[in-house]
Amino acid sequence: MYVAVKGGEAAISNAHRLLADRRRGDRTLPAIGIEQIVAQLGLAVDRVMAEASLYDRALAALAIRQARGDMIEAIFILRAYRTTLPRFGYSVPVETAEMQVERRVSATYKDLPGGQLLGPTFDYTHRLLDPSLLRDEAVEEGLQRDGEIEPVMRVADILSSEGLVEDDGQLPEGHVPGDLTREPLEFPMERDLRLQALARGDEGFLLALGYSTQRGYARTHPFVGEVRIGEVEVELDMPELGFAVSLGRIQVTECQMIAQFKGSAKNPPQFTRGYGLVFGQSERKAMAMSLVDRALRAEEFGEDIVAPAQDEEFVISHADNVQATGFVEHLKLPHYVDFQAELDLVRRMRREYEERNREEPGEDTLEAAQ
Amino acid sequence: MAAVRNQPSPDQEAAARKRAMGLLAKATRVELAGAWEALATRPAVTPVRGPETGLVMVRGRIGGGGAPFNLGEVTATRASVRLDCGVVGHGQALGTDGEKARLAAVFDALLQTSEHAAAVERLLDEVAARLKADDARKARETAATRVDFFTMVRGDD
């Protein structure tokens, strides 16, 4: 028999009112604005956009504010919002080779066309707390350097001119890119669908898996061929006009991870690659994604599947933090009836155990009697 | 012959409109509204569709240049309008700003009229110049963070 339990309405309503109060906090302080979040907590905004799989800085900032800075809650809110909008279509694939680059570094070549461009990076900072940020001190603008801007050549193209690295991943002619927002997940899956899942996957989860491959659980001995951050054009085909039109630009982070060799009777030995592409500025996520992408290609390269990072079903099924938090957090919702059943069961087992022990006392009881 | 030379081919027309729509998408709402207010005569505009906000699934390519995959969605807003002369224009841009998309559609339509084409071209040039200046400034800022390696010679041999 199931008995519905009611009576939470007033408590829930008051709890939400209290949440709004705590979210606003001390009323003597100014409320934080959406523009301030976008401008000054930009990397938090980028993470929410990437894992919600929806690029919109203002909406991501709103979600962060609404979630009191709880990132997964913000991702959840933004992910839920996207289901309310119609889909206009699929963009023309963005061309990262034509990116307006604001950072590009390579760990494989010191001197390369376009150079090592550090951009606005945390690298080489001392990770010491900066007391000047306690006050609102004036901040200098970035320096500018004049001169001809060299095109920023792709590292993959440098290596592939010698045939020493595998090509950009191809799928069979006529393959329609899978879309996990439209079809349920099925395993095994093609690399395109895996990349979509990884691009929206939890940064911490992918970071841990990428780290595990470095520590020997599916070793690939990777090098960062390059990481680049910058803006790319988003174009949409306009059927009524017969050509594609630019809708504007978005910022993305791309990582080309170069991993150890593979050769066969037909193909000479060459480097293999892992690929990462993420909304916004998110180098750690793009790097972790490329490590996991490479590890998940184990079967394609005939490698033994010995580690979690190589297990497609394990990785893809658990990378989505909205799904993960939903299932973990549902445990706190009322399970009164389930638990009552378990309680009855354990009481019966206890009764049976005690009856058995009374009939034939075990050693424990004997010792206790002595 | 001169008449033929002056007549743009359909390809050229498409390329010009593609450039114009791309620039209108990157114009700010303030730029568009300012240009609308600055028009000598303003035609009556009726909405045909929208403005409506939806999603575009952004595609990337495996390895940067390989097979396409779905990266994630972006908000976009589009609108179509008709001028009193019957010309239809389409506007679309990233984000959720309906008024901006509507104004972009108005200017796309105005570009196709002989009366207002020149004013639209002026707006497009302004937007293009602003974008070029922004890009150039960012490129110079990035260039200042380029590493200039030098080699330290150690020992004599």
SS3 string of A130-179?
CHHHHCCCCCCCCCCCCCCCCCCCCHHHHHHCCCCECCCCCCCCCCCCCC
How does residue B157 score in pLDDT terms, banded at 50, 70 and 90?
A: low
Rounded to 5 degrees, φ, ψ at A328 are: -65, -45
Do A273 and A355 belong to one domain? no
Please tell me if residue B60 touches chain A, with a CB cutoff of 8 Å: yes
Nearest to A241 by CA among B104, B15, B100: B15
Tell me which residues of chain A, numbers 65 to 124, contact chain B at a CB-CB cutoff of 8 Å.
Answer: 82, 85-97, 100-103, 110-111, 115-121
Counting every residue written for chain A, the total comes to 370
Across the range B99-105, mean pLDDT stands at 97
pLDDT of residue A365: 52
Do A99 and A248 belong to one domain? yes
How many Å apart are CA A317 and CA A239, to the nearest integer?
36
Domain assignment of residue A301, yes or no: yes
Amino acid, single-letter form, for residue B145 = T
pLDDT of residue A70: 97
Residue A328 has, within 13 A of its CA and on its CB side, a CA count of: 8
Domain assignment of residue A2, yes or no: no
A81 close to A56: Cβ distance less than 8 angstroms:
no
How many Å apart are CA A275 and CA A291, to the nearest integer?
8
Structural domain range at position A286: 91-123+148-319
How many Å apart are CA A224 and CA A231, to the nearest integer?
20
Do A283 and A240 belong to one domain? yes
List, for residues A202-229, the tens digit of each pLDDT value.
Answer: 999 999 999 999 999 997 789 999 999 9
pLDDT exceeds cutoff 70 at B6: no
Measured between CA atoms, how close is A78 to chain B, in angstroms?
11
The DSSP secondary structure of A85-130, one letter per residue, reads S-EEEEEEPP-GGG-EEEEEE-SS-SS-TT--B--S--TT------
For a pLDDT cut of 70, what percent of chain B falls above it? 94
Across the range B136-141, mean pLDDT stands at 95
Domain assignment of residue A206, yes or no: yes
B76 close to B93: Cβ distance less than 8 angstroms:
yes
pLDDT of residue A30: 95
How does residue B2 score in pLDDT terms, banded at 50, 70 and 90?
A: very low
How does residue B13 score in pLDDT terms, banded at 50, 70 and 90?
A: confident
Do A234 and A338 belong to one domain? no
Q: Distances from the Cα of A31 to the Cαs of A20, A26, A72, B154, in angstroms?
A: 13, 9, 22, 58
Q: In 3-state terms, what secondary structure has residue B120?
A: helix
- Look at strands A270-279 and B45-61 and give their pairing: unpaired
Do A241 and A282 belong to one domain? yes
Do A73 and A21 belong to one domain? yes
How many Å apart are CA A6 and CA B94, to the nearest integer?
45
Domain assignment of residue A4, yes or no: no
Residue A141 has, within 13 A of its CA and on its CB side, a CA count of: 7
Do A231 and A339 belong to one domain? no
How many Å apart are CA A54 and CA A48, to the nearest integer?
8
Of B26, B56, B146, the CB nearest to A116: B146
∠ CA B142-B148-B153, nearest 5°, is 170
Q: Distances from the Cα of A364 to the Cαs of A157, A222, A346, A357, A361, in angstroms?
A: 74, 58, 22, 10, 8
pLDDT of residue B3: 41
Beta bridge partners of A126: none
List, for residues A25-38, the tens digit of each pLDDT value.
Answer: 999 999 999 999 99
Do A57 and A165 belong to one domain? no
* CA trace torsion A173, A90, A152, A286 (10° rounding): -90
Which residue ranges in chain A fall short of pLDDT 70? 1-5, 360-370
Do A95 and A236 belong to one domain? yes
Domain assignment of residue A128, yes or no: no
Do A350 and A278 belong to one domain? no
Query: Regarding predicted confidence, which is higher, B113 or A150?
Result: B113
Chain B residue with CA closest to A192: the answer is B69
Nearest to A109 by CA among A256, A228, A225, A227: A225
pLDDT of residue B144: 94
Across the range B145-157, mean pLDDT stands at 78
Of B64, B138, B140, the CB nearest to A168: B64
Please tell me if residue B13 touches chain A, with a CB cutoff of 8 Å: no
Decide if B95 and A56 are in contact by the 8 Å CB cutoff.
yes
Do A78 and A110 belong to one domain? no
Do A280 and A348 belong to one domain? no
